[in-house]
Amino acid sequence: MKLGARIFKTGLAVTLALYAAMWLGFETPAFGALAAFFAVQPSVHKSFVLIGNQIQANLMSAVLAIVFVLAFGNEPFVIGVVVMLVIAILLKFNKESIIPLAVVTAVIIMGSPSDNFIHFASNRFLLIMLGVFAAFIVNMIFLPPKHENLLYHRVVDTNDEIIQWIRLLTRNEADYSTLKKDLNRLREAIIKVENLFLLYKEERNYLKKNEYSRLRKVVVFRQMIVASKKAMGILKSLDKNEHNLHHMPEEIQEIIQTQLDYLTNYHERIMLKYIGKVKVNTTDDLHDEVGVGKRQLTDMFLNFYDNKEIDRNEWIHFFPVIALIIEYSEELEHLDLLVDGFFNFHKTENEVEITERDL
């Protein structure tokens, strides 16, 4: 079992909310802990963005709850009506992410009102807000997320698996039952990488110098993901057209295998360059090999397209693989250019802090 930063932050926020509520003398500190649980966010920027929305939504829920209890009582159907109103209003203003906490606020206030209801409701509202602020403080101070570090390693891990399968397929050594399982897992891995990228993209550095550097990294990481998706596209296409590939003339198979070896090696070197394990501007030889390979693939298509020894239908079905390989090479060239540019310009600002992955 692995406990991540989000789990630790949630535990800390709940603990802080409980201690703060008990120290301030609230009768039901568990409600503050519940609010802290719902208010923990996966990034500092999200916490900043949502704290204002959470205050407004909870205040709106509290007002609706008080008005309806005073007017109609706290029968279950009244609570249900308030919950529906809260959800409808927040949906109207595109604030879906804070609906759970706003609903909890309304239910807690309306659940068991006392004779002095205004005091009771105010007490519960303050308790909820205490939990929200506890979560906000924990998110700001403790265990700040290292999205850049995690994103890089996720991209590399996904690339490594895709590249391994591409090399096995071009050598006719892949076990296809295992490949089918891994393809589904790799699709999910790319989706997770894209979601993690969105969190990284949303982060902010409030010093201008650091923010410019982070924005440059966002561009680089976006291109890393584009290159990974192109590699994934080649893998899926090779799997689909495996039969056609291994019935092509040996000359074609060798050119495709050689070009994909160049490209996957190029891809690995670019990723290592980003973390300083390969010198900047030292992939020119691979860049040249990739360019030669693209010309060979194009010439091969033109030469073999009308070759009577090759079945036209087989060649047409396999042609998308050739197109994907050319697209993959172009995306890698663009990624290489971005990485070199990142380190060649504004060198003092562009620092990469990728650490070894936690075991």
Q: pLDDT (tens digit, 0 to 9) for every residue of the chain, 359 residues total?
A: 455 667 777 888 888 888 888 898 887 888 888 888 888 877 666 777 777 788 888 888 888 888 888 888 878 888 899 999 999 998 888 888 788 888 888 888 887 666 677 777 888 888 888 888 888 888 777 656 677 888 899 999 999 999 999 999 888 888 888 988 899 999 999 999 998 898 888 776 554 556 677 788 889 999 999 999 999 999 998 888 877 777 777 777 888 888 888 899 999 999 998 888 877 766 666 666 666 666 666 666 666 666 655 666 666 667 788 888 889 988 998 999 898 888 887 555 556 666 665 43
Domain enclosing residue 196, as ranges: 147-344
C-alpha–C-alpha distance, residues 165 and 44, integer Å? 37
The residue type found at 346 is: H
228 found inside a domain? yes
Domain count, the chain: 2
357 found inside a domain? no
- Any idea which residue has 């033109």 for tokens? 302
C-alpha–C-alpha distance, residues 222 and 158, integer Å? 15
* Burial (Cβ within 10 Å: 0-12, 13-18, ≥19) of residue 71: exposed
Q: 199 CB contacts (<8 Å, ≥6 apart)? A: 42, 43, 46, 145, 147
How many alpha carbons fall within 13 Å on the CB side of residue 123? 16
Contact in structure between 238 and 256 (CB atoms under 8 Å): no
User: At which of 99, 114, 141 does a domain end?
Assistant: 141
Instruction: Say which CATH number the domain at 178 has.
Output: 1.20.58.220
Helices (H), the chain: 5-23, 29-39, 44-72, 76-92, 99-111, 117-141, 147-170, 176-202, 208-240, 242-245, 250-274, 284-304, 312-344
- Going by C-alpha positions, the residue among 270, 251, 250 that lies closest to residue 262 is 270
C-alpha–C-alpha distance, residues 99 and 87, integer Å? 6
C-alpha–C-alpha distance, residues 187 and 169, integer Å? 18
User: At which of 141, 173, 203 does a domain end?
Assistant: 141
352 found inside a domain? no
Regarding whether 118 and 89 lie in a shared domain, the answer is: yes
359 found inside a domain? no
What's the alpha-carbon Rg for the chain, to the nearest Å?
28
Regarding whether 331 and 183 lie in a shared domain, the answer is: yes
227 found inside a domain? yes
